């Protein structure tokens, strides 16, 4: 098995176990069981526990690899870098909802080469390896073939790092194309939905690398257009992202201004 093949197999196993851990620790439905890092930026006990598990297990398996997590930052340097969001969709998770996931990606330099997204409460595992295709629960996935922007479903993510007025303006421009809007509270799953053809695009004016590292690998293998996130500083400071079915990419670049 190739080095990437071994890493993919390990990533799937660890992310799946991390998903089980998140399920065991998941709060019941109701008021949020979490603390706030910032406006609508939630942190639960599970975030730290899951990230610690992934970091420690990956270091045991691949001691020369780097690791970057949402909660711990760049914990280790390495030529290959694992990037983890222990629980993406924490605001959903903190209230006992089902739309959350564990996101684990591997970068070779600035190139996403492995992506694993496990949504344990939904029973879904998205997997991709550079050049090896993308799957959902083992079945191949591709982006949608929607040809008309007026028939498109577009998810728009909100970030407190950009003015609310800018988000509202983007919503208005996308709606003016005739597309219908969605918002699900998880950037990683929003990207995965584009890869699976469930939606036609995902856009957000600011998002961090740990939210998209796995998703970009999956999107690439599913045939999606992805805006130049890493080239725009996404690897260090975060950046805007647009992922779309290629046929609609030009119209959506104009509408989102990404």
Q: Are residues 197 and 157 in the same domain?
A: yes
Q: Are residues 244 and 174 in the same domain?
A: yes
pLDDT level of residue 91 (50, 70, 90 thresholds): confident
In whole angstroms, what is the distance from residue 257 CA to residue 174 CA?
10
Mean pLDDT of 85-100: 91
Q: Which residues pair with 125 in a beta bridge?
A: 118
Dihedral pair phi/psi, residue 50, rounded to 5°: -70, -45
pLDDT at 75 over 80: no
Tally of structural domains, the chain: 2
What is the per-residue pLDDT across 156-201, written as a single tens digit (0 to 9) for each? 999 989 999 999 999 999 999 999 999 999 999 999 999 999 999 9
Q: Are residues 135 and 102 in the same domain?
A: yes
pLDDT reported for residue 41: 43
Q: Are residues 71 and 194 in the same domain?
A: no
In whole angstroms, what is the distance from residue 223 CA to residue 92 CA?
29
Nearest to 186 by CA among 231, 130, 121: 121
Q: Is 187 helix (H, G, I), strand (E, B) or coil?
A: helix
Q: Rounded to 5 degrees, what angle do the CA atoms 38, 21, 19 make?
A: 80
Q: Are residues 18 and 110 in the same domain?
A: yes
Structure tokens at 253: 């670049």
Last residue of a domain, one of 105, 120, 140: 140
Q: Are residues 133 and 186 in the same domain?
A: no
Q: Are residues 72 and 185 in the same domain?
A: no
Helices (H), the chain: 3-25, 45-61, 90-93, 164-176, 187-195, 209-221, 249-256
Q: Is 84 helix (H, G, I), strand (E, B) or coil?
A: strand
Mean pLDDT of 225-232: 97
Last residue of a domain, one of 90, 119, 140: 140
Q: Is 178 left (phi over 0), alpha (psi -120 to 50) or beta?
A: left
pLDDT at 223 over 90: yes
CB 88 within 8 A of CB 63: no
More confident residue, 142 or 30: 142
pLDDT at 72 over 90: no
Q: Give the CATH number, domain containing residue 228.
A: 3.40.190.80
What is the per-residue pLDDT across 33-59, written as a single tens digit (0 to 9) for each? 445 444 444 446 788 889 999 999 999
Tell me which residue range forms the domain holding 7.
Answer: 3-140
Which are the contacts of 241, defined by CB distance < 8 A and separation ≥ 6? 191, 202, 203, 204, 207, 212, 226, 227, 229, 234, 258
Mean pLDDT of 10-24: 96
pLDDT level of residue 79 (50, 70, 90 thresholds): confident
Q: Give the CATH number, domain containing residue 115.
A: 3.30.540.10
- How many CB atoms are closer than 10 A to CB 109? 10
pLDDT level of residue 27 (50, 70, 90 thresholds): confident
Q: Are residues 131 and 210 in the same domain?
A: no
Q: Are residues 188 and 125 in the same domain?
A: no
pLDDT reported for residue 193: 98
Nearest to 191 by CA among 214, 221, 167: 214
pLDDT reported for residue 36: 40
pLDDT reported for residue 102: 97
pLDDT reported for residue 73: 60
Q: Are residues 43 and 98 in the same domain?
A: yes
Which are the contacts of 211, defined by CB distance < 8 A and separation ≥ 6? 85, 88, 103, 187, 188
């Amino acid at each position: 098995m190739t080095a990437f093949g071994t890493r993919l197999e390990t990533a799937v196993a660890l992310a799946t176990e991390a998903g089980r851990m998140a399920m065991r620790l998941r709060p019941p439905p109701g008021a949020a069981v979490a603390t706030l890092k910032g406006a609508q930026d939630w942190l639960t006990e599970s975030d730290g526990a899951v990230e610690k598990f992934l970091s420690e297990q990956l270091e045991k398996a691949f001691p020369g690899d780097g690791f970057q997590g949402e909660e711990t930052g760049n914990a280790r340097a390495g030529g290959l870098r694992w990037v983890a969001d222990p629980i993406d969709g924490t605001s959903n998770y903190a209230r006992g909802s089902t739309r959350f996931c564990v996101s684990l990606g591997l970068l070779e330099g600035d190139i996403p080469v492995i992506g694993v997204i496990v949504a344990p409460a939904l029973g879904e595992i998205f997997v991709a390896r550079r050049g090896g295709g993308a799957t959902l629960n083992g079945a191949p996935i591709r982006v949608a073939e929607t040809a008309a922007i007026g028939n498109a479903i577009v998810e728009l993510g909100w970030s407190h790092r950009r003015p609310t007025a800018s988000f509202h303006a983007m919503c208005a421009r996308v709606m003016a194309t005739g597309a219908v809007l969605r918002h699900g509270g998880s950037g990683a799953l929003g990207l995965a939905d584009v890869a699976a053809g469930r939606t036609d695009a995902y856009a957000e004016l600011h998002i961090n690398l740990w939210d998209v590292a796995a998703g970009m690998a999956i999107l690439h293998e599913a045939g999606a257009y992805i805006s130049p996130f890493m080239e725009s500083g996404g690897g260090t400071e975060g950046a805007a992202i647009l992922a779309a079915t290629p046929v609609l990419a030009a119209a959506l670049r104009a509408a989102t201004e990404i």
